[in-house]
Structure 1
């Protein structure tokens, strides 16, 4: 008899990502967690044409495999040190650091091989400042001057950082610094060595009174040393990925016009380097979200990249998109775009293996991770590698059931999933779990925590209410200025549907949980309904007014999401308060536990502290658990020991209130 999934299985499960194909070898990273070091690690491995498995490097965190000439280059990080560039001979030999500089202040951030495989291009960052200070007897002070001066999951931005683009020649193995700048950028793609390099950065890097919403695409020409902005016609555009055609004449881009900052649906664009014309190819053809930015909400896969578009030849390209909670693959040219794969899965990365075959890394609700070969013509899929094959001989995953339901106002057909409790008891408590965002989506991806909670006897219901991504722009925008309205109604309607159609769910034992926006929805729910026996709000938003100035994104996110400027007038301030769960804390009779990371910069821990204090003062039942050294993503990429501790914290609270 196989076992169900337990919290500690995080230490056994593995995922694959960052797949690349070179000279009949498939390179990829195999990601896992070490219990003794409480850390995330990744081996660099390969499969040859006979599926022989080889480990190239297995110490520390290894990523970004790139082959240039006779060497395999990759990024290596160990023991919390800065990320560095390493290389090793393809025909055998040991790995050695390939230092671009002898400075301990420099880290390597990105690698791109030119289309003609003649040079490697490397982005570096140099700084003496640290994003988070360590505890010391004589600490330093931090001088903050930038409005946009921090980022959750990282810490405080450095005032002295320098970013460089460096070229490594294949033959001479010489390093050339192409440029150095104070403005951060993303190295996106390189045509033939010595020609054009595409990179992405904001158009207004010196903006000091607001955030620069733009992410524009620039071309740097190696021969002339000149830089050209190529997305001029999309003044406020936000682009995230780029790829040159093999001949270097066309650049495929993933991005949007940014009409709705932080939530605009991405399209596929083509830019002709000959005519200087930029064309949006999918805006009128498809109502899908191109690329990975609207990623499905999950908690398992690690070390992902954003390889959203690749070229098959000089005319045809492949790109990924998200639609109704799952991934799709499309093939196109200058005139048409056609769907070539549409399965219940999350495609986490892909690359070209041959003119008609793609390599895919995928995740599914009942399959954590797998490497596949997909034939574009025949649509035949070949399973190449499952990193959890041995684990799955003794363990089994619970399978979710997808359902559709009608919104209470009868205007929307909505989607949700039900993961039955293990052993399917006649009466199982039901847990409504709300995703973050709100511009995110549940979907066809493996969710370790859901598997654990269901193995503990809870039936899990999770839905995509209005405001979620992957259902089109209008659906995504519905929540703007209307938090706690249609979105709240959609959540409850999904729960009502599940209770009506899955008779084993116990109507007398309903629970609710969620993180970030899901934490907002949880605290909002307990202030507006008494139907839940208990609630767990994680890294919540409870007070939009204090969120505005204390979150790393609050000052612009609040304006967009609430459709009001806090400092414009009294009506705006009243709107902020009216949409804050804190305003209804005196109504809470549902026992609620609050979970929060102490380093959270996205929804600062004060959001939970405020709600905890208000419920306590009103005589409600509540407690709070604080996770040290934890950013907003504590449940996805936080310290592994705390991720596991957190799952037991949820179980303890719900078990207590049976």
Structure 2
């Protein structure tokens, strides 16, 4: 059968594998299988099994709910999972089901939904977190705001509520273990089941501090005890199999900008020891892609004998799977040449993971000393499509540093023709381009345009100095890198028509889109998505804006003498210089880069007579391009293609 170019509508046919969880004995892998129901405009998510000995794949859960977060009981006979939609008008609920089948048992149903569930070591109890009202729930729909943190993208408003810890026995009533003005994050059972540890900050400055601590609380309830010394920022932790040690991902320089996250190991209540001080890459950095359902991060994964810890993180161009010896710090790369997402390890050392490439969404894999691919859900579709394979090349930036870049040729490329070219820019700025698949890029190539992309200073997946390179210099060194990269691509690939250049990006990539067209008119068309126009307006309305001031320009506030410095790093300061036709795509429920950023950029462009349109997506947030409603994702693609067709 002759192959064809990819189409917008092909989004409906892609399948997504995430959150692989191998059973304690290594015989099965539970994972989440997601697909799109175009008619209902939603995602269907169910739990599937893979037999590790045969590779046989079977669907395990059914029904109308979105079933996610499968976790094995210690004896491997039961599975807990979260489900949304099994019961109408309910938030996410916690269920347990026997592996032999039968009806799932509802374990916990809370007003604000359940998250982060885990089995106790004896399999008799479960923990979970849920948001609760710290005072009596108001009868009015008027919001009373007292904290600077009261909303979050893809979560919404949570004024008056805190995330607290619960335990429950199947068939019993949940018991709230923590209370007060703090949030419980990343709860983990101790290996003897007598206590639970979690990460939080209980201090008055918790909303603006970057410091947090590990606390321990008796599993039967009581007062939390702080077991770290308030010198670290931590994102995740786990207990060694013998219960003697805690491993966590974090940094001992919490107030510095864009520092690497390392792996630490400490005796319960002892002094932490850094295991990855010789690694020179930050942990916790995943690879970008728009055909991916992200797996939850379970933190450091111990081997059954406690000798090793497994983790995945990016070393451009891949997101590799690593194993480190907890005694001598010897680091091994187990899986490379692709981008690993979720990882779990059985008691006997079998490793389940999902991974993608630049030409294939995540599929399921097993590592038992060698890599085995267990699923090929997207093969039938991919076999029909002509995709453009990215070609890697490098260039020297102005510091003499070798920088990665990629070009995707237009499908049907011929060497004696000239082609338009679109520069794609990632978000972050600590985003990463590499071995990840983007339908957006493939659609541009299918239209007959080249696509180029790079990792400018500020990107993750490199040494800390490179990632910190953009800090306090937004719009400066990144602009230089993008311009030098574009020059190099045109020089290296003379078939690029430099009179027909376009550019686009989202989030921080939307900021750089706006910034670039205010400083050069070499690009003939721009599409700016979920962008930033004005750092001064963003700081007080974004869910994280108040945490950002110094990273932008070096100024530490947004007022007084600092105000002008921050404004000079804002695209709107230079909007009178813009000539490039610019399409704006923004989500109305985006709390990261709020709608006002798109509105004022659009208004300023209109007042300066720049060809522009504003496309507003209702009921969408900052994640539109990755997990928005399927029909909206398709419509977003259509607008991008329409704009570039008109102006390129």
TM above 0.5, yes or no, is yes
| Structural mapping, 1:161-172, within 5 Å | 161=162, 163-168=164-169
Verify the 8 A CA contact 1:178 1:222 in the aligned structure 2.
no
Separation in 1, partners of 2:633, 2:49: 30
Aligned to 2:314: 322
Separation in 2, partners of 1:178, 1:272: 28
Residues 1:163 and 1:256: Cα distance change in structure 2 (over 3 Å): same
Aligned to 1:278: 272
Aligned to 1:52: 56
Verify the 8 A CA contact 1:4 1:398 in the aligned structure 2.
no
Pick the aligned partner of 1:221 from 218, 221, 224.
218
Q: What SS class does the counterpart of residue 427 from structure 2 fall into?
A: coil
Residues 1:252 and 1:499: Cα distance change in structure 2 (over 3 Å): same
Separation in 2, partners of 1:543, 1:17: 36
Pick the aligned partner of 1:417 from 399, 406, 410.
406
Aligned to 2:609: 619
Are 2:450 and 1:459 equivalent residues in the alignment? yes
Residues 1:162 and 1:338: Cα distance change in structure 2 (over 3 Å): closer
Aligned to 2:14: 13
- Tell me by how many angstroms 1:223 deviates: 6.5
631-640 or 333-342: bigger deviation: 333-342
- Tell me by how many angstroms 1:117 deviates: 4.5
Pick the aligned partner of 1:598 from 588, 594, 604.
588
Residues 1:528 and 1:241: Cα distance change in structure 2 (over 3 Å): same
193-202 or 548-557: bigger deviation: 193-202
Separation in 2, partners of 1:642, 1:176: 38
Residues 1:494 and 1:344: Cα distance change in structure 2 (over 3 Å): farther
Aligned to 2:389: 399
Residues 1:393 and 1:240: Cα distance change in structure 2 (over 3 Å): same
Q: What SS class does the counterpart of residue 545 from structure 1 fall into?
A: helix
Verify the 8 A CA contact 2:18 2:294 in the aligned structure 1.
yes
- Tell me by how many angstroms 1:139 deviates: 8.9
Separation in 1, partners of 2:640, 2:633: 11
Aligned to 2:129: 123
- Tell me by how many angstroms 1:88 deviates: 2.1
Aligned to 1:87: 96
Separation in 1, partners of 2:378, 2:10: 11
Separation in 2, partners of 1:599, 1:139: 22
Aligned to 1:186: 185
Q: What SS class does the counterpart of residue 633 from structure 2 fall into?
A: helix
Aligned to 1:108: 114
Aligned to 1:38: 41
- Tell me by how many angstroms 1:44 deviates: 0.4
Residues 1:297 and 1:29: Cα distance change in structure 2 (over 3 Å): same
Separation in 2, partners of 1:336, 1:193: 27
Pick the aligned partner of 2:32 from 29, 33, 36.
29
Are 2:602 and 1:609 equivalent residues in the alignment? no
Query: C-alpha deviations, 1:158-206, integer Å up to 9, x for none?
Result: 314462321437xxx65562603243212342233432322112242x4
Q: What SS class does the counterpart of residue 390 from structure 1 fall into?
A: helix
Verify the 8 A CA contact 1:188 1:241 in the aligned structure 2.
no
Are 2:287 and 1:290 equivalent residues in the alignment? no
Are 2:328 and 1:339 equivalent residues in the alignment? no
| Structural mapping, 1:166-565, within 5 Å | 166-168=167-169, 174=172, 177=175, 179-182=177-180, 183-204=182-203, 206-207=204-205, 211-222=208-219, 225-232=222-229, 234-235=230-231, 237-260=232-255, 263-273=258-268, 276-283=270-277, 285-291=278-284, 294-312=285-303, 313-328=305-320, 329-341=322-334, 343-353=336-346, 355-376=348-369, 380-407=370-397, 409-425=398-414, 426-565=417-556
Verify the 8 A CA contact 2:211 2:254 in the aligned structure 1.
no
Separation in 2, partners of 1:609, 1:231: 45
Separation in 1, partners of 2:120, 2:385: 44
Instruction: Report the RMSD for the aligned CA atoms in angstroms.
Output: 2.4
Query: C-alpha deviations, 1:429-469, integer Å up to 9, x for none?
Result: 10001111112211211212112221222211111000111
Q: What SS class does the counterpart of residue 264 from structure 1 fall into?
A: coil
Separation in 1, partners of 2:257, 2:6: 35
Aligned to 1:135: none
Query: C-alpha deviations, 1:24-63, integer Å up to 9, x for none?
Result: 1111111222112212221101012322222121332111
138-147 or 52-61: bigger deviation: 138-147
Q: What SS class does the counterpart of residue 57 from structure 1 fall into?
A: coil
Pick the aligned partner of 1:640 from 630, 633, 638.
630
Are 2:56 and 1:63 equivalent residues in the alignment? no
Query: C-alpha deviations, 1:67-112, integer Å up to 9, x for none?
Result: 33543221111166300012222223122323x35x6x25211111
Separation in 2, partners of 1:127, 1:262: 34
Are 2:634 and 1:653 equivalent residues in the alignment? no
Verify the 8 A CA contact 1:203 1:214 in the aligned structure 2.
no
Q: What SS class does the counterpart of residue 484 from structure 1 fall into?
A: coil
- Tell me by how many angstroms 1:349 deviates: 0.6
Unpaired runs of 5+ in structure 2? Answer: none
Residues 1:579 and 1:151: Cα distance change in structure 2 (over 3 Å): same
Using the size of structure 1 for normalisation, the TM-score is 0.91
Q: What SS class does the counterpart of residue 641 from structure 1 fall into?
A: helix
Verify the 8 A CA contact 2:125 2:167 in the aligned structure 1.
no
Separation in 2, partners of 1:337, 1:428: 48
Separation in 2, partners of 1:95, 1:202: 36
Using the size of structure 2 for normalisation, the TM-score is 0.92
- Tell me by how many angstroms 1:155 deviates: 1.3
Verify the 8 A CA contact 2:363 2:375 in the aligned structure 1.
yes
- Tell me by how many angstroms 1:224 deviates: 7.9
Aligned to 1:134: none
How many pairs were matched up?
Answer: 632
- Tell me by how many angstroms 1:400 deviates: 0.7
Residues 1:555 and 1:610: Cα distance change in structure 2 (over 3 Å): same
Separation in 1, partners of 2:212, 2:419: 48
Verify the 8 A CA contact 2:210 2:254 in the aligned structure 1.
no
Q: What SS class does the counterpart of residue 211 from structure 2 fall into?
A: coil
Residues 1:505 and 1:260: Cα distance change in structure 2 (over 3 Å): farther
Verify the 8 A CA contact 1:367 1:397 in the aligned structure 2.
no
